[in-house]
Amino acid sequence: MMLIVYILLLRFSVFIAPFQWEPSGHGILCEMLYGVVGSQSIVAHVIAMVLLMGQGYLVNLIAINYRLSNEINLFPGLFYIWCCCAIPDFLYLSPVLIGNTFFLIALYQIFDTYKNPACADNIFNAGLWLGVASLFYFPFIFFFIVLLAALSILRTFNLQEVLMILVGIVLPYFLTGLYFFWFDSFSYFWETQISRNFGFFEFSRISFTWDVWVKFVLFIGAMAYVMINSNFYLTKKNIQVQKKINILYWVLIAAGLSVPFQIHVTFEHLMMLAPTLGIFLGLSFTAFKPQWAEAIHFLMLVLVMVLQFVPWQL
């Protein structure tokens, strides 16, 4: 319940601060959803908060069930929510936010395959949920790399299991494409899902104002922090936990590899890093002394509020 209060604290500015935002890189399912509820309506904001609440729960479930932390607490979900609200570009019902829901389910499914001889359904479901995520935000298709890495890390390589993932990813595309083909709109599906989302080094022009630099420094600093502290996250962990922590680093790699192939990439793309950053920041704060943890977290909240409100007042 405290996560609800935290979400409201970090996201209430969407109701009063007129930040200019337009969804980017959205897939066919996101297009259909926006056609029903819009992208910046009250309903859309409520859906975004509900999704974020569910995602925070999923992150905590992954961290607790798979013993990623030495202590059981709710810090990973808390910092996942902070990452998803860190800059004004994240405060809306964005395609990445929706896609993260299904990717977290896929991550949970693939984690469950470790030393599990009867896990064909988990492997297939991981691919299936990833395919659904990419129908909301196309670059999630590149997280196929994460699932392949997870299979090679958690299990002995098996071509049949790779094919299971591939079939799982393709199935949502096949069914959605079949639906539009039935209504003689397959060209619309192809244009919306593939053509307008897939490119090569076609970046949007970004005006490098002071707040843009702060956003860049914020996420580059967070990524550098979790990379530098990799040994800390792996220390005193059993082999199973170490393997799953290594998979989380593949999320950062796959998100980076997808950037050159997306047309007009924006700051929203950085939200794909939130599952890894949220879990690792939660692990870090678990080890901090309480007074230091409180002070640093307070400064992080202040920074978020500054980014949300100072540009509006200027």
Number of compact structural domains in the chain = 1
Per-residue model confidence as pLDDT tens digits over 209-236: 777 788 888 888 888 999 998 888 888 8
Are 139 and 258 spatial neighbours (Cβ–Cβ below 8 Å)?
Answer: yes
In a domain, residue 12? The reply is no
In a domain, residue 19? The reply is no
Q: What is the mean pLDDT of the chain?
A: 87
Predicted pLDDT at 165: 95
Predicted pLDDT at 202: 64
In a domain, residue 85? The reply is yes
> How buried is residue 95: exposed, middle or buried, by Cβ count under 10 Å (0-12/13-18/19+)?
buried
| Other residues' Cβ atoms within 10 Å of the Cβ of residue 142 | 20
pLDDT of 259 higher than 90: no
Predicted pLDDT at 314: 47
Per-residue model confidence as pLDDT tens digits over 67-90: 888 888 889 999 999 999 888 888
- Confidence at 156, pLDDT banded by 50, 70, 90: confident
- Confidence at 244, pLDDT banded by 50, 70, 90: very high
Q: What is the mean pLDDT of residues 162-171?
A: 95
In a domain, residue 204? The reply is yes
Predicted pLDDT at 70: 80
In a domain, residue 239? The reply is yes
**Residue 157, both tokens:** 């390589």
In a domain, residue 1? The reply is no
Per-residue model confidence as pLDDT tens digits over 99-142: 999 999 999 999 999 888 888 999 999 999 999 999 999 999 99
| Segments forming the whole domain that contains residue 85 | 24-313
Q: What is the mean pLDDT of residues 11-31?
A: 78
Distance of alpha carbon 209 from alpha carbon 307, whole angstroms:
12
Residue listed under structure tokens 């899902």: 193
Query: How far is residue 65 from each of residues 40, 61, 250, measured CA to CA in Å?
Result: 35, 6, 20
String of DSSP letters for the chain: -HHHHHHHHHHGGGGTS-------SB-HHHHHHHHHH-SSSHHHHHHHHHHHHHHHHHHHHHHHHTT-SSS--SHHHHHHHHHTTSSGGGSS--HHHHHHHHHHHHHHHHHTTTT-SS-HHHHHHHHHHHHHHHHHBGGGGGGHHHHHHHHHHHS---HHHHHHHHHHHHHHHHHHHHHHHHTT-HHHHHIIIIITTB-SSBPPP----HHHHHHHHHHHHHHHHHHHTHHHHHTT--HHHHHHHHHHHHHHHHHHHHGGGBBT--GGGGGGGHHHHHHHHHHHHHHS-HHHHHHHHHHHHHHHHHHHHHHHH-
Distance of alpha carbon 125 from alpha carbon 177, whole angstroms:
19
Distance of alpha carbon 199 from alpha carbon 259, whole angstroms:
10
In a domain, residue 138? The reply is yes
